[in-house]
Amino acid sequence: MTKPIEKVAIIMAMKQEAKPLIEEYNFYKLPKIFDEELPMEAYHIDKEGIDITIILNGTDRDFQLDCVATQPATLSAFLAVQHFRPDLIINAGTAGGFAQRGSEIGDVYVSHKYIRYHDRRIPLPGFDKYGMGNYPCLNASRLAQKLGMKLANVSTGNSLDITPTDLAIINVETPVVKEMEAAAIAWVAHLYRIPFIAVKSITDLIDNEQAVEQEFIKNLAIASNNLKKKMMGVIDYLVGKSIEEL
Ligand code: SAH
């Protein structure tokens, strides 16, 4: 008999991405959970016996903006493990997709096979592969099918824009979505041998004419709302299931 999932940590970068889900499922803020120097915040619910905590990267003290990208994501993942010891880590957020590979604004993807970096280029023996990471993620194809989500390789980098070199590396994978946190979290999950998936809602299409930052701002609300709907489905789907059943 396999063990049902008891604790889940959902790591999210931006408040606007998390707000719809926090409100819909009445997550409540856990007071004083992390050191007060840290920007990270934690929100909690008990969903039919599963302990679910959203760890939000929080607001940068100096810039008064959401702490996006890999540096805070690594720290959030470490805090999630230290404080909550989850059976499963989910990184939920937004990403860029490719119209030529079937992505549309608001599509929600589940990570497939592995998460890699497209901007850690270290052309030295062995370090080339190390740089790319290729951290494993859980095979969640049943969950994806059940909830009507597409599967994609997730490619992480620390820039919202894209260089031709990044693009050439990303283009090796198909389908693929591009974002700024998943590989950092997948690395921590891999270190602790905790199963990991990413759920990413498309805010922008990298291969169209529009500037990524304008598209991102324009579509953030719709993408976050779709992310909420799918994440509600994911949370409901997890109830009573073991990791092996996902
Ligand atoms: N706060 C800024 C932008 C945040 S950076 C603003 O409002 O303009 C973008 C965030 O969305 C990151 O957390 C990243 O994971 C995700 N993202 C969405 N589309 C992306 C893309 N095309 N490339 C990289 N990251 C993307």
What's the CATH code of the domain at 217? 3.40.50.1580
CA distance 153 to 57: 23
38 assigned to some structural domain = yes
Instruction: Determine, yes or no, domain membership for 244.
Output: no
pLDDT at residue 175, rounded to an integer: 81
Tell how strand 88-97 and strand 196-205 pair up.
parallel
Give domain status of residue 99, yes or no: yes
d(CA 76, ligand 1 centre) in Å: 17
Q: Which amino acid is at 70?
A: T
Q: Is residue 167 part of a domain?
A: yes
Task: Give pLDDT, residue 2.
Answer: 85
Identify whether the C-beta of residue 180 lies closer than 8 Å to the C-beta of residue 157.
yes
- Domain span including residue 168: 7-238
Q: Determine whether the shortest distance from the Cβ of 211 to ligand 1 is under 6 A.
A: no
Q: Which residue is it, tokens 């008891």?
A: 6
Q: Write phi, then psi, for 172 (nearest 5 degrees).
A: -65, -30
The answer to whether residue 137 is domain-embedded is yes
Asked whether residue 100 is domain-assigned, the answer is yes
| Mutate-to-test residue for ligand 1 from 216, 222, 226, highest number of ligand atoms within 8 A of CB | 216
Strands 135-136 and 50-56 turn out to be unpaired
Task: Find the angle CA(239)-CA(178)-CA(104) to the nearest 5 degrees.
Answer: 75
Instruction: Give me the pLDDT at residue 1, please.
Output: 59
Q: Is 234 domain-assigned?
A: yes
pLDDT of res. 192? 98
Q: Is 181 in the pocket of ligand 1 (CB under 6 A)?
A: yes
Angstrom distance (rounded) from CA 109 to CA 116: 16
pLDDT tens-place values along the chain, 246 residues long: 589 999 999 999 999 999 999 999 999 999 999 999 999 999 999 999 999 999 999 999 999 999 999 999 999 999 999 999 999 999 999 999 999 999 999 999 999 999 999 999 999 999 999 999 999 999 999 999 999 999 999 999 999 999 999 999 999 878 899 999 999 999 999 999 999 999 999 999 999 888 999 999 999 999 999 999 999 999 999 999 999 999
Q: Is the dihedral of CA 221, 174, 140, 66 positive or negative?
A: negative
CB atoms within 10 A of CB 72: 23
Residue 245 domain-assigned?
A: no
- The full 3-state SS of 217-241, as one line of letters, equals HHHHHHHHHHHHHHHHHHHHHHCCC
Amino acid at 142: R
CA 95 to centroid of ligand 1, rounded, Å: 7
DSSP letter assigned to residue 2:
P
Looking at the 3D structure of the chain, how many domains does it have?
1
